[in-house]
Chains A and B, each alone.
Chain A
Amino acid sequence: DIVMTQSPDSLAVSLGERATINCKSSQSVLSSSNSKNYLAWYQQKSGQPPKLLIYWASTRESGVPDRFSGSGSGTDFTLTISSLQAEDVAVYYCQQYYSTPPFTFGPGTKVDIK
């Protein structure tokens, strides 16, 4: 199984500042056949289900604000919130869908306001 790790475990950022979350997979999730990275990012606010933010490592889901962006390839990925808003307080998870089953998630990164 592919193991996903995230760093940091939590971070506190001032409103309007940048938040950066890192995700690493134990093996590459880049497909040589289509050059796509099978990596998604989800946001989970307290008491709510997860919400898809990013897929194919960098494609923003429809309706997701453009302050959210994903980057990276192979085994190392980043989710960036360019200007943190109060409504962005949540836990963020990365998930690989390259080698399935099983679908595996990172342990999550909690983002708070400083």
Chain B
Amino acid sequence: EVQLVESGGGLVQPGRSLRLSCAASGFTFGDYSMNWFRQAPGKGLEWVSFIRSEAYGGTTEYAASVKGRFTMSRDDSNSIAYLQMTSLKTEDTAVYYCTRARGCSSISCYMDVWGKGTTVTVSS
């Protein structure tokens, strides 16, 4: 079964850091580009970051709201994607979802597999 499982969420004070993990199973992780999305309480979906497969350079893209603060990476040998979040703000409070990207030409992909999400709460 194709599956993504996020972990690492929690309560953190503004200005602090947190690292999210996304463990993949049931498919060849290294063949796919991956994303993080987030959803603030009662709000819609917001794209956070994208990482290409190593075949396409493993490079990353970020939303303007997190650029310079968040870093996405991947460990293909262990089928894990990470999101390192620093200088956290109260507006980063959300459920964070890891997704698999499919049908990609460059970064133009749709998301065919979503994890259940991990909750990040930024509050003093």
Chain B proximity mask over A74-107: 1 for CB below 8 Å, otherwise 0:
0000000000000000000101011011111111
Q: B46 → chain A, closest Cβ, in Å?
A: 8
A49 near B44: Cβ-Cβ < 8 Å:
no
How many interface residues does chain B have, given as a range? 20 to 34
A108 near B110: Cβ-Cβ < 8 Å:
no
Chain B residues whose C-beta falls within 8 Å of the C-beta of A52 in the assembled complex:
110-112, 114
Given A101-B47, A101-B63, 6 other A-B residues pairs in contact with their CB atoms under 8 A: A50-B114, A56-B103, A95-B45, A95-B110, A97-B108, A108-B45
**B residues within 8 Å of A by Cβ?**
35, 37, 44-47, 50, 61-64, 97, 102-103, 107-112, 114-117
28 contacts between A and B (CB under 8 A): A40-B111, A42-B111, A49-B97, A49-B115, A49-B116, A50-B111, A52-B114, A55-B102, A55-B103, A55-B110, A55-B112, A56-B103, A95-B110, A95-B111, A100-B50, A100-B61, A100-B108, A101-B47, A101-B50, A101-B61, A101-B63, A103-B35, A103-B47, A105-B46, A105-B47, A107-B44, A108-B44, A108-B45
